[in-house]
Chains A and B, each alone.
Chain A
Amino acid sequence: MLKTLTRVGTQAFNKNLFSFSRNYCTRYTTDHEWVNNIGPKKYKLGITDFAQKQMGDIVYIELPKIGDSFEKGGEMGTIESVKAVSEYYIPIDGKITSANDKITEEPEILNEDPYGEGWLVEFESDQSGDFSELMSKDQYDKYIKDQN
């Protein structure tokens, strides 16, 4: 039993370690989206603080439907601010599993908390390789700096 408990405990520890480390694995795109690997083949996406500042007050968000599939680079929806309607894209092939309906009612959340409550969608994808090729935080920070 002790061996079983040890094995189960080790498995649980490793799973938690996986979840812990992967929850903090965030990548960024040149279109100013952040993508968080939240579990095996599971991702969450939003726009960065830089993007929401460029947009100004956000007034409307169009979200994709659960079950919609997109190819890498495909347009998932639009975000309207006082300045413009802008598209946002999926950075790797994926299928939508969840959409943050709350932000359609309260779009200002996207300005206030772009990395937290302002997430846009969750999706599943087999393309972990493509995910790894997205920019790290340091690379994204440099990208923004080079823009300005």
Chain B
Amino acid sequence: MIRLLRLNKFPILKQLQIEEALYRAPNSGNWIIINNGTPEPIVIVGISGRADKLVNLDEVESRGIQTMKRFSGGGTVVADENTLFSSILLEFETLKQLFPTLSAISSSSSSSTLPSINDGNIYPKDIMNWSANSFYKHVFHEQIDFSLQENDYAFGKLKFGGNAQSFSKHKFLHHTSFLYDFKDDHMMACLKQPDKIPEYRRNRDHLSFLCKLKDRYQSKDHIINNLLKTINNLPTSPSIKEVTLEEAEQFLSNPHPKSNQLFDYNLKSWKDITNEYNPIKNI
């Protein structure tokens, strides 16, 4: 069974807290989470992100925008109400049942032979290739130039979606932020050019490197409907159960390491998130 959680304008900070709880809980099962935007703009860096190297902190602070560090890796994004979030958390055994063979999948980015995922371990590049060629390719089926460029979802050489993966012994999390629209000004002003960039980016600045889904789709609902169709058409027709936010929130009470953090502009350092999901403990 795969649990489907649909959210609308749900704060991505809280979504990531839930995702971390689901990821770290031993028997949380399989989940797909779709969130149609986050209510306030927020800068999100990956687990190893050095805020000072990736973010124009003074600028971000002056605009009243929070900066957070998520528990997964990957790059930096300015997310807002026009960012579409899609997260897939699957047990490896479930993925093997859904896709017992990779024979139909061609890798556009890897020259190595892919192992059959029915025999042996699954590796990050396998998930990247699977997500692009067996999942999101169908979501964006109208776009003939959809491709996986290194680790980004792109139309041609223009990135429209960034993703991050986390791997544990028995499951993986693959979550993506799709840029339906974004404020050009935020992107240019808030984010620095990272030291390490994918080769296909060729030193282009953010606006020359990114594209907006709104230029290809009239509404976010269209994309969300494509996502839902793809989920419902997964091979072997697994049972998909739409669940409530409360069912996901239950996993927050499992003791687990909490790696999502917020940047404190005064102290110039990361601090633990304190909110209703992680209240201050009374001493």
Q: Which residues of A pack against B, CB within 8 Å? A: 30-31, 54-57, 59-60, 62, 73, 75, 78, 80-87, 89, 146-148
The 0/1 profile, CB within 8 Å of A marked 1, for residues 123-150 of chain B is: 1110110000000000000000000001
Our pick among B47, B128, B150, B172 for the contact of A80 (Cβ within 8 Å) is: B47
Our pick among B48, B72, B150, B172 for the contact of A59 (Cβ within 8 Å) is: B48
* Chain B residue nearest in CB terms to A62: B47
A85 to B257, CA, bound (A): 15
Q: Is the CB of A85 within 8 A of B166?
A: yes
Our pick among B72, B119, B127, B169 for the contact of A31 (Cβ within 8 Å) is: B169
* Chain B residues within 8 Å of chain A by Cβ, number: 26
Q: Is the CB of B48 within 8 A of A147?
A: no
A2 to B79, CA, bound (A): 79
Instruction: Return the 3 tightest CB-CB contacts between A and B, nearest first.
Output: A60-B48, A84-B124, A84-B165
Q: What chain A residues lie within 8 Å of B169 (beta carbons)?
A: 31, 73, 87, 89
Most chain A Cβ neighbours within 10 Å, of B73, B127, B167, B196: B73
Q: Is the CB of B115 within 8 A of A81?
A: no
A146 to B120, CA, bound (A): 8
Given known A55-B124, A59-B48, A147-B115, contact A80–B168 (CB-CB < 8 A): no
Q: Is the CB of A146 within 8 A of B119?
A: yes
Q: Is the interface of B mostly helix, strand, loop or mixed?
A: loop
Q: Is the CB of A59 within 8 A of B196?
A: yes
* Chain B residue nearest in CB terms to A87: B168
A–B pairs, 14, beta carbons within 8 Å? A56-B124, A56-B125, A60-B73, A80-B46, A81-B124, A82-B151, A83-B151, A84-B127, A85-B47, A87-B169, A146-B120, A147-B121, A148-B113, A148-B115
In whole Å, how far is A63's beta carbon from the nearest beta carbon of chain B? 13
Q: What chain A residues lie within 8 Å of B71 (beta carbons)?
A: 85
Within 8 A of A (CB), among B45-68: 46-48
A30 to B125, CA, bound (A): 18
Q: Is the CB of B121 within 8 A of A84?
A: no
Q: What chain A residues lie within 8 Å of B125 (beta carbons)?
A: 54, 56, 83
A75 to B168, CA, bound (A): 9
A60 to B70, CA, bound (A): 14
Our pick among A57, A62, A73, A87 for the contact of B167 (Cβ within 8 Å) is: A87
7 further interface pairs, Cβ-Cβ under 8 Å (given A84-B124, A85-B167, A86-B124): A54-B124, A54-B125, A56-B124, A62-B47, A80-B73, A84-B127, A87-B167
Q: Is the CB of A85 within 8 A of B115?
A: no
Q: Is the CB of A84 within 8 A of B196?
A: no
A86 to B151, CA, bound (A): 16
Given known A60-B73, A85-B72, contact A54–B167 (CB-CB < 8 A): no
Q: Is the CB of B168 within 8 A of A84?
A: no
In whole Å, how far is A117's beta carbon from the nearest beta carbon of chain B? 20
In whole Å, how far is B89's beta carbon from the nearest beta carbon of chain A? 13
